[in-house]
């Protein structure tokens, strides 16, 4: 307790800023070290409770908050404000800068593209029969989805044969097989 009393408020605020900055540098150098053991099972949870995206509890957002809190608190003490007023300044500065980092990181995350292709995206698409579908049997359909060519085992919806290279519409997915009908 005596050791803590020996520190000035200015030194405490600067120490808080230094710790936040150190964590920020470590986070930038080595990645999100502390986010792998977060409260949400290693996944960021956004404001709406959805997994993925940026979290307010991200180590980068928190370290910027702590750094700004300490820095603005030290500025307040240096300007002659009380500890309470300096703490308020630190809190406001931390919220502003932490919020800016959160907003910027959310913007960057929203700009990501994905190459994931969900089979459910095939429903309603037009494809071409690459292996003829015999009466009551299965064949194969080729369909372009985005930049990817997908080939799936196909069965005619009404059980009728469909010739090679015929255009078909994908109606539904049953297991690994797509149900198709002739495109008009």
Higher pLDDT, 33 or 104: 104
Given CATH 2.40.50.140, say whether it is the number of domain 119-182: yes
Predicted local distance difference test score (pLDDT) of residue 68: 95
Its sign, for the CA torsion 117, 122, 123, 124, is: positive
User: Minimal CA–CA distance to 129: which of 176, 158, 161?
Assistant: 161
Full-model pTM = 0.55
pLDDT digits (tens, 9 = 90+) for 43-60: 444 444 445 667 778 888
Higher pLDDT, 51 or 114: 114
Q: What 3-state DSSP class applies to 128?
A: strand
Higher pLDDT, 56 or 106: 106
Q: Is the pLDDT of residue 69 over 90?
A: yes
Q: What 3-state DSSP class applies to 178?
A: strand
Whether 173 and 120 have beta carbons less than 8 Å apart is answered as: yes
Q: Is the pLDDT of residue 61 over 90?
A: no
Q: Is the pLDDT of residue 146 over 50?
A: yes
User: Minimal CA–CA distance to 140: which of 160, 155, 125, 126?
Assistant: 155
Question: Could you tell me the residue ranges of all domains in the chain?
Answer: 2-110, 119-182
* Residue 60 vs residues 9, 17, 33, 35, 146: alpha-carbon distances, Å: 25, 14, 10, 9, 34
């Amino acid at each position: 307790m005596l050791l803590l009393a020996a520190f000035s408020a200015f030194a405490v605020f600067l120490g808080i800023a230094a710790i936040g900055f150190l964590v920020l540098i470590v986070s930038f150098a080595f990645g999100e070290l502390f986010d792998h053991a977060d409260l949400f099972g290693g996944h960021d949870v956004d404001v709406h409770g959805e997994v993925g995206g940026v979290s307010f509890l991200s180590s980068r957002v928190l370290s910027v908050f702590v750094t700004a809190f300490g820095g603005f608190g030290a500025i307040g003490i240096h300007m002659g404000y009380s500890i309470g007023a300096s703490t308020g300044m630190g809190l406001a500065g931390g919220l502003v800068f932490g919020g800016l980092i959160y907003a910027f990181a959310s913007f960057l995350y929203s700009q990501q593209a994905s190459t994931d292709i969900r089979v459910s995206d095939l429903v309603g698409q037009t494809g071409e029969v690459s292996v003829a579908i015999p009466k009551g049997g299965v064949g194969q359909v080729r369909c372009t989805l985005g930049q990817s060519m997908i080939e799936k085992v196909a069965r005619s919806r009404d059980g009728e044969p469909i010739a090679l290279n015929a255009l078909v519409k994908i109606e539904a997915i049953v297991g690994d097989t797509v149900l198709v009908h002739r495109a008009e």
